[in-house]
Structure 1
Amino acid sequence: MKARAKINLSLDITSRRPDNYHEIKTIMQSIDLHDNMVIEIINKGIELECNYPKVPCDNRNIAYKAAELFMNKYSAKYGIKCGVKIKIDKNIPVAAGLAGGSSNAAAVLIGMNKLFNCRINISELISTGKQLGADIPYCIMGGTVLAEGIGDVLSRLMSIPKTYIVLVVPKIEVSTKWVYENFNFDKVSKRPDINLLLSAISKGDVKILADNMVNVLETVTAEKFDVINDSKQKLKDFGALGSLMSGSGPSVFGIFKDKVSAYMAYQKIKCNDYNLFVTETT
């Protein structure tokens, strides 16, 4: 199975809730960068293997938690009497604002549903995924989506035309929790015009989309790490139609008009300070 990364084509925070969660409005887009996952039936229990040593292979891993939740919720109902082994071949950088962990958890829920022939509909899977994390409902749905609430109120949008993306991932890790805890509404001077972006998407106008992307969380992450704005500027200098930090960072992406210009930028930016990827929207 492919567990795809996501980028945020815009991200706005509209309020802070009494439970300290934030209400957001964001346009999410899946990209072809992905982890490869295999889910197999074993006699009992849950086993997890991952090729990346920093990823825990026990119940601290959200993919493991997804399998545990699925078993607890559906084993009796669907007569599941065995266990699963999950293998993750990691390509998505960790703690990078690309929903790598959430996409793994979503893939586990989707994969176990198919493996055990439960035929649980997508709405119920999304509701189950929400119990584990705010990005998981989107990762189950995929594509081009407007996400509201805490990221769990999803509206599918028209798919944007196939677009080439250069992804710059600085070699730092950023805690999503830290970014949201340090977000200050008073420091936001520019917010995304979501209606303009939705109109651009409905018309398939990638240039207007790229010109008007805004992520208010840059006021936290880019303020602390200069490499965020440096990466955005490099992408623009080498031909990006627009560039933005994804999620809480530190990943930054640029939208390019075609595959050739994307690979030219990749060659010019390539250095040991970043992990660099050329990918495309899916």
Structure 2
Amino acid sequence: MKIYEKAPAKINLSLDVLYKREDGFHEVEMVMTMVDLADRLEMTAIPRDTIMISSQAGYIPLDEKNLAFQAARLIKERCGVREGVYIHLDKKIPVAAGLAGGSSDAAATLRGLNRLWNLGLSVEELKELGAELGSDVPFCVTGGTALATGRGEKLERIDAPPACWVVLAKPPINVSTAEVYGQLRASEIRRHPPTAQLVQAIAAQDYQGVCSRLGNVLEEVTLRLYPEVRQLKDCMERLGADGVLMSGSGPTVFGLVSKETKACAIYNGLRGFCKEVYAIRLLTAPMLAD
């Protein structure tokens, strides 16, 4: 038996850090949504009690360092599964890009193995397992659009943003999330994103209101450490995107665009700046219903 799962990328329409918690994590407030750029996973049950992963991408680990492997091991151990699984990962999402590719792969693995092994876990149980793997995994389990708080694991489903095109561009560098958060001084943040107003604009399906309320406090750190990201953001703004923001800790920058012709023009303009450029749509439907 084989199970197939799609693992879409996420973008942050808003990312705010409120303070550093006593447990070392940062208290965040984020609006996250998914886009139609996705990895695809094929899961096959095997009788031998082992986990095997393959991929066409030669640049990702295929062992315990891979989040999909960790997700498979976790759900196997918690549910007492004695059989194994072979996972083929067709990788399309850029790595270390601020797009939660690894987290989405882990979430897809949890969803898929819940079906493959007939475990009967609820959505909440899958999200609880996901929270042990990473802060973005619970959101990626369900997808859709959500307001995330805590360290990112507390989720409130909200309306999908107005339908539009998204142009994603990743410069040829990798950014360490730990490094960016390590250099962030939460107490010194002077300008916080208007997250509540962004949520209101989404609810009203006010596209221009959404574009004008994008915000990410991590930009200040990443743009200082990696000038290429600032150049890319400036370039996308010059090319006429309606709203431009860095996703997560970067280095990927995205632009919201209302018209397909404009999205194609921006895509073509950015291709001379970096190789990894995508013109895609927002994904408005969730992966799983809460």
Equivalent in the alignment of 2:60:
55
Select which of 38, 49, 55 maps to 1:34.
38
Length, aligned pairs only: 278
Q: Which runs of 5+ in 1 are unaligned?
A: none
- Measured in 2, the distance between the counterparts of 1:119 and 1:62 equals 22
Q: Distance in 1 between matches of 2:119 and 2:261?
A: 44
Q: Which residue of 2 aligns with 1:199?
A: 200
SS in 1 for 2:133: coil
- Name 2:134's counterpart in structure 1: 133
Classify the secondary structure of the residue corresponding to 2:215: coil
Q: Deviations over 1:107-157 (max 9, x none)?
A: 000000011122211011000110111000010010111000000000000
Q: CA RMSD in A?
A: 1.1
Whether the aligned pair in 1 keeps the contact of 2:20 and 2:186 (CA below 8 Å) is no
Match of 2:11, SS state, is strand
What secondary structure is seen at the aligned counterpart in 2 of 1:179?
A: helix
> Match for residue 74 of structure 2?
69
Report the secondary structure of 2:118's partner residue. coil
SS at match of 1:232: helix
State the match for 2:161 in structure 1: 160
Preserved CA contact (<8 Å) 1:190 1:214? no
For residues 32 and 183 of structure 1, the distance between their equivalents in structure 2, rounded to whole angstroms, comes to 30
Q: Does 1:183 align with 2:184?
A: yes
Q: CA deviation at 1:186?
A: 5.2
Aligned to 1:281, the other structure's residue is in SS state: strand
1:24 to partner: Cα distance: 0.2
* 8 A Cα contact 2:8 2:39, kept in partner: yes
What is the rounded CA distance, in whole Å, between the counterparts of 1:273 and 1:236 in structure 2? 15
Instruction: Give me the whole-angstrom Cα distance separating, in 2, the residues matched to 1:119 and 1:92.
Output: 29
Distance in 2 between residues matched to 1:194 and 1:123, nearest whole Å: 25
- The alignment's TM-score, normalised by the length of structure 1, stands at 0.96
Q: Which amino acid is 1:122 matched to?
A: V
Q: Give 1:173's aligned amino acid.
A: N
In structure 2, C-alpha distance between the alignment counterparts of 1:101 and 1:267, rounded to whole Å: 28
How much has 1:81 moved relative to structure 2? 3.1
1:139 & 1:168 partners in 2: Cα distance?
A: 21
For residue 131 of structure 1, give the secondary structure of its aligned residue in structure 2: helix
What's the TM-score, normalizing by structure 2?
A: 0.93
Amino acid paired to 2:174 = E
Query: Structure 1: how far apart are the matches of 2:255 and 2:29?
Result: 21
Q: Could you tell me how far 1:189 is from its partner in structure 2?
A: 3.1
Decide whether the 8 Å contact of 1:39 with 1:112 is kept in 2. yes
- The equivalent of 2:288 in structure 1 is none
The runs of at least 4 consecutive aligned structure 1 residues that moved more than 6 Å come to none
1:187 CA displacement: 4.8
User: What's the CA shift for 1:185?
Assistant: 2.7
Q: Which residue of 2 aligns with 1:16?
A: 20
- Unaligned runs of at least 5 residues, structure 2: 284-290
Identity of aligned residues (%): 38
Structure 2 residue 51 is matched with structure 1 residue 46: yes
